[in-house]
Amino acid sequence: MPQKSNIPIRKRAVVGVILRHNKFLTIRRSQLVVAPGKVCFPGGGIEHGESEPQALVREIQEELGVTATAGVRLFETVTAWGTSVAWWHAHLEQDAQLVLHAAEVAETHWLTPQVLLRDPDLLSSNRDFLVAWGQSTFAIPGIAVPPDWNEISG
């Protein structure tokens, strides 16, 4: 269900929520892009004529050098800066080797939800996404909300 917002939408983006062994694949954004050094999921802007899954697969290929498969659409938010973000569950081949596009991605990490939520560099909209997940606004296939979630997200 989309989050209600009165912010005018200036841009549309899609991000991939990718899990392995109960950890999220996260990127640290490079110093050369918007929100430099921030931690978030792979993804980016939707180009004219692209569907969300097409943009998701293209962005992940560009950033991480791997072919992703789009799963289900999990959630939709509007950032404080007017970007409509579609959050998609996505999958990589089990043995996929990431090849980072250094101009966009400084590093990648597989992080538990608890570690990710506590990361001071987490993009604010990603924090909102995790909090909404913890409140069961939507479910992410294959991972349960940790039992101590209310204590750490409060």
Ligand X SMILES: Nc1nc2c([nH]c(=O)n2[C@H]2C[C@H](O)[C@@H](COP(=O)(O)OP(=O)(O)OP(=O)(O)O)O2)c(=O)[nH]1
- Please tell me whether residue 125 binds ligand X under the rule CB under 6 A: yes
Both ends of the chain: CA-CA distance in Å? 22
At residue 116's C-alpha, the angle toward residues 19 and 30, to 5°, is 90
> Considering Cα of 89, then 94, then 100, then 105, what sign does the dihedral take?
positive
| DSSP code at position 33 | S
CB of 1 to ligand X, least distance (A): 17
Q: Footprint of ligand X on residues 103-122 (CB under 6 A)?
A: none
Cβ closest to ligand X, residue 8 vs residue 147: 8
Cβ closest to ligand X, residue 79 vs residue 153: 79
- Sketch the per residue contact string, 1 through 30, with ligand X: x for CB under 6 A, - otherwise: ------------x-x---------------
Q: Footprint of ligand X on residues 42-81 (CB under 6 A)?
A: 43-45, 79
Q: For residue 74, what is the enclosing H or E element?
A: strand 69-78
